[in-house]
Amino acid sequence: MNPTVKNTREPLFHVVKHAERSTKETVVLRLVAVLLSIVAGGLFILAIGQNPIAVYGTILEGSFRSQMAIQATIKFAIPLCICALGVTLAFKMKFWNVGGEGQLIMGAVFASFFALNFPNWNHWVLVIVMLLAGCIGGGLWGVLAAFFKVKWGTNETLLTLMLNYIALHLVSYLQAGPWRDPAANGFSKIARFDKNVALDKVFGVHFGWIIMLVLVAFVWIYLKKSKQGYEISVVGESQDTARYAGIDVKKVILRTMFISGAIAGLAGACQVSGSDMTLSMGVAGGVGFTAIIVAWLCQLNPAMILVVSFLFGVLEKGSSVVQSTFGLSSDCADVLQGIILFFILGSEFFVRYSFVGRSKKGVSR
Partner 1 sequence: MDLFIKFLVAAIGAGTPLLFGTVGEILNEKVGHLNLGVEGMMAIGACAGFMGGYLSDNFMVALLCAFLAGMLAALIYAVLTVTFMANQNVAGLTMTIFGVGISNFIGVYMIEKAESGTLKLPAQVTQQMRSIQIPGLSDLPVVGPLLFSYNPFVYLGILVAALTGFYLYRTKTGLNVQAIGENPGAADAASIPVTKWKYFNILLGGGICGIGGAYCGMIINGGVWISNSVNGLGWIAVALVIFAAWKPHMAILGSFVFGALRVLKYYKVGFMVGMPDAFFDMLPFLITALVLIVTSMRGNKGAHIPAFLGNNYFREER
Which stretches of the chain bind partner 1, using CB under 8 A?
1-2, 6, 14-17, 48, 96, 98, 148, 152-155, 157-159, 161-163, 165-166, 169-170, 172-173, 176-177, 286, 289-290, 292-293, 296, 327-329, 331-335, 337-339, 341-342, 345-346, 348-349, 353
Q: Are the beta carbons of 200 and 207 closer than 8 angstroms?
A: yes
**Neighbouring C-alpha atoms within 13 Å toward the C-beta of 244:** 6
Least distance CB 314 / partner 1 (angstroms): 16
Degrees to nearest 5, angle at CA 193 with 128 and 72: 80
Tell me whether residue 119 or residue 338 sits nearer to partner 1 (CB atom): 338
Could you give the CA distance from residue 162 to residue 72 in angstroms, rounded to a whole number? 31
CB closer to partner 1, 96 vs 209: 96
Considering the complex, state which of residue 76 and residue 289 has its C-beta at the smaller distance from partner 1: 289
Three-state SS for 356? strand
Nearest distance in Å: CB 102, partner 1: 10
* Shortest Å, Cβ 337 to partner 1: 6
Give the Cβ contact number of residue 25 at 10 Å.
Answer: 12
Select 196 or 239, whichever has its Cβ closest to partner 1.
239
How far apart are the C-alpha atoms of 156 and 146, rounded to whole Å?
7
Nearer to partner 1 among residue 124 and residue 152 (C-beta): 152
Least distance from partner 1 to the Cβ atom of residue 295, Å? 9
Task: Report yes or no: 311 and 71 within 8 Å, Cβ to Cβ.
Answer: no
Compute the least distance from the CB of residue 142 to partner 1, in Å: 14
| Residue 98 CB, nearest approach to partner 1 (Å) | 7
Distance of CA 329 to the CA centre of its chain: 22
DSSP code per residue over 205-257: EETHHHHHHHHHHHHHHHHHHSHHHHHHHHHHH-HHHHHHTT--HHHHHHHHH
Nearer to partner 1 among residue 172 and residue 228 (C-beta): 172
Nearer to partner 1, 273 or 337 (CB): 337
Dihedral, 120, 126, 131, 132 alpha carbons, nearest 10: -120
- Do residues 235 and 149 touch, judged by C-beta distance below 8 A? no
CB of 257 to partner 1, least distance (A): 16
